């Protein structure tokens, strides 16, 4: 099958087109009645049957030759022989990619996904550890430096304040879907355009320790409230 040359292939294609054109012309002549008016009815029927049988055999032979060429030729040869096929073949890869969801974006490897998951888990553990240590240090500072033997109103407020902060920190640390606010995310995305990657990572760690900063501000606010109540009620 591979012994056919390019000239023979083009010749077979040309013969197939000519056969189709001839069949179309014969059918048009039969429909319009041209060149058939002088024949007898029986002769017309016999001639029509004979010509139809010959055209059918010739069309079957040409179709067999064309299928034989299609098995040998590649897509590039067909597009070179017929300009219309070139447009179809140029559209076909794009249509195939669209149907089967092919994308130019590289897929992430399982190792990279696992590494990112471990990194996120490490950052979460580091944040919880720092928060817990900070709470313990603050508790010991209250217990050692500001130890008051009598259970006055100030002591009860201090105990309640520390207890609520510990409970709040434990609840926040157990939240699995805890995410930073949109404002902090916008700040980080803006600073990524100007800072090196090392500083961006450190900045993210600082923002993830935001709970420690919030607790410090809460302590400061509590102290201000206590001194305000003390000055008002002369405790």
Question: What is the 3-state secondary structure of 217-230?
Answer: HHHHHHHHHHHHHH
- Is 81 inside a domain boundary? no
Instruction: Single out the residue in 28, 55, 73 at which a domain terminates.
Output: 73
> Which residue range forms the structural domain that includes residue 173?
110-233
Contacts of 148 (CB under 8 A, 6+ apart): 154, 155
The answer to whether residues 114 and 217 belong to one domain is yes
State the pLDDT at residue 150.
62
Q: What's the CA gap between 136 and 14, in Å, rounded?
A: 92
The answer to whether residues 124 and 213 belong to one domain is yes
The answer to whether residues 129 and 194 belong to one domain is yes
Q: Does the pLDDT at position 112 exceed 80?
A: yes
The answer to whether residues 159 and 229 belong to one domain is yes
Token pair, residue 158, equals 């201090």
Instruction: Report the largest interatomic distance among the alpha carbons of the chain, rounded to a whole angstrom.
Output: 135
- Is 1 inside a domain boundary? no
Residues 23-47, mean pLDDT to the nearest whole number:
60
Residues 77-100, mean pLDDT to the nearest whole number:
49
- Is 103 inside a domain boundary? no
Residues 42-65, mean pLDDT to the nearest whole number:
54
For the stretch 166-204, pLDDT in tens is 777 776 666 555 555 555 666 767 777 777 777 877 777
Instruction: Single out the residue in 24, 57, 73 at which a domain terminates.
Output: 73
The answer to whether residues 47 and 141 belong to one domain is no
The answer to whether residues 117 and 190 belong to one domain is yes
Token pair, residue 49, equals 């049957």
**Number of domains observed in the structure of the chain:** 2
Q: What radius of gyration, in Å, describes the C-alpha atoms of the chain?
A: 44
- Is 100 inside a domain boundary? no
The answer to whether residues 57 and 119 belong to one domain is no
Q: What's the CA gap between 36 and 147, in Å, rounded?
A: 126
- Is 80 inside a domain boundary? no
Q: Residue 27: pLDDT band by 50, 70, 90 thresholds? A: confident
176 or 156: which carries more pLDDT confidence?
156
The answer to whether residues 25 and 126 belong to one domain is no
The answer to whether residues 58 and 114 belong to one domain is no
Max mean pLDDT among 74-83, 132-141, 216-225 falls in: 216-225
- Is 153 inside a domain boundary? yes
Q: What's the CA gap between 154 and 162, in Å, rounded?
A: 12
In angstroms, the Cα distances linking 68 to 1, 55, 71, 83, 92 are: 7, 20, 5, 21, 23
The answer to whether residues 57 and 126 belong to one domain is no
The mean pLDDT of the chain is 68
The answer to whether residues 138 and 202 belong to one domain is yes
The answer to whether residues 209 and 121 belong to one domain is yes
- Is 78 inside a domain boundary? no
- Is 52 inside a domain boundary? yes
Residues 11-24, mean pLDDT to the nearest whole number:
84
Q: Does the pLDDT at position 151 exceed 70?
A: no
Q: Residue 144: pLDDT band by 50, 70, 90 thresholds? A: low
Closest CA to 197 of 188, 206, 185, 187: 188
Instruction: Single out the residue in 73, 98, 118 at which a domain terminates.
Output: 73
């Amino acid at each position: 099958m591979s012994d056919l040359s390019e000239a023979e292939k083009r010749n077979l294609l040309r013969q197939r087109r000519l056969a189709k054109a001839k069949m179309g012309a014969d059918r048009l002549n039969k429909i319009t009645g041209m060149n058939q008016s002088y024949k007898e009815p029986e002769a017309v029927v016999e001639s029509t049957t004979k010509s139809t049988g010959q055209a059918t055999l010739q069309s079957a032979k040409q179709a067999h030759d064309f299928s034989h060429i299609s098995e040998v030729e590649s897509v590039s040869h067909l597009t070179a022989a017929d300009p219309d096929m070139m447009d179809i073949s140029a559209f076909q890869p794009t249509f195939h990619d669209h149907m089967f969801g092919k994308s130019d974006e590289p897929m992430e490897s399982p190792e990279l996904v696992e590494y990112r998951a471990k990194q996120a888990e490490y950052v979460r553990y580091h944040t919880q550890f720092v928060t817990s240590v900070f709470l313990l240090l603050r508790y010991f500072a209250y217990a050692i430096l500001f130890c008051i033997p009598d259970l006055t109103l100030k002591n009860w407020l201090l105990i309640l304040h520390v207890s609520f902060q510990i409970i709040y920190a434990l609840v926040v640390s157990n939240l699995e879907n805890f995410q930073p606010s949109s404002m902090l995310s916008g700040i980080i995305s803006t600073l990524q355009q100007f800072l090196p990657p090392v500083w961006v990572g450190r900045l993210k760690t600082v923002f993830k320790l935001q709970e420690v900063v919030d607790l410090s501000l809460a302590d400061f606010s509590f102290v201000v409230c206590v001194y305000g109540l003390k000055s008002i009620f002369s405790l």
